[in-house]
């Protein structure tokens, strides 16, 4: 038995080591691909799916960067919270370059005053209150729209840059915004 172990021991050791490293490598590759899929699916297409908040926030930040004079950033918030000083800076930069804002805020959001304070210094910002905000929406003129659906344990968002689809969502938003304006 000892002679057999000596003769084949090294081969068995390297064989098991190779098998173990192969399993570890496969698990890491699956995990790596899962992480990529969990962040953004379809990034360079007319529609992208976000399964975590971080890449969606980056997409929204990019929306502010590419906005041009005369564009309107429009949207609806549900919780109207979790906005960083970077968001305030992006709003002020966009407003300074001639971008206007139309926002439907959730009048029941506990952080409504903080959210409104982001837009207080912006003369081109119009905010109206909604009492039934169920989805988060943010768009840039008729160019792009991001929709996120609140969930308890997960995150789902979609970014669409197809002009026809963006137009449908924007038309819904414009009708809703107009209906909520106080005469």
Query: For 112, left (φ over 0), alpha (ψ -120 to 50), or beta?
Result: alpha
Confidence band of 26 (pLDDT split at 50, 70, 90)? low
Q: What is the mean pLDDT of residues 80-109?
A: 87
Alpha carbon of 47 to those of 142, 158, 163, 165: distances in Å?
15, 7, 11, 10
pTM assigned to the model: 0.74
Asked whether residue 62 carries a pLDDT value surpassing 80, the answer given is yes
């Amino acid at each position: 038995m000892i002679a057999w172990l000596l003769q084949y021991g090294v081969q068995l050791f390297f064989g098991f080591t190779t098998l173990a490293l192969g399993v570890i490598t496969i698990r890491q590759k699956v995990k790596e691909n899962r992480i990529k899929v969990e962040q953004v699916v379809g990034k360079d297409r007319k529609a992208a799916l976000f399964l975590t908040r971080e890449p969606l926030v980056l997409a929204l930040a990019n929306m502010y960067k590419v906005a041009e004079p005369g564009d309107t950033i429009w949207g609806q918030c549900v919780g109207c919270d979790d906005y960083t000083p970077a968001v305030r800076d992006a709003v002020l930069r966009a407003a300074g370059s001639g971008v206007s804002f139309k926002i439907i805020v959730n009048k029941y959001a506990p952080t409504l005053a903080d959210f409104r304070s982001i837009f207080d210094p912006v003369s081109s910002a119009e905010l109206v209150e909604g009492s039934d905000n169920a989805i988060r929406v943010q768009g840039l003129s008729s160019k792009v729209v991001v929709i996120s659906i609140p969930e308890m344990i997960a995150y789902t968002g979609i970014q669409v840059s197809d002009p026809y689809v963006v137009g449908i969502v924007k038309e819904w938003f414009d009708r809703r915004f107009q209906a909520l304006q106080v005469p």
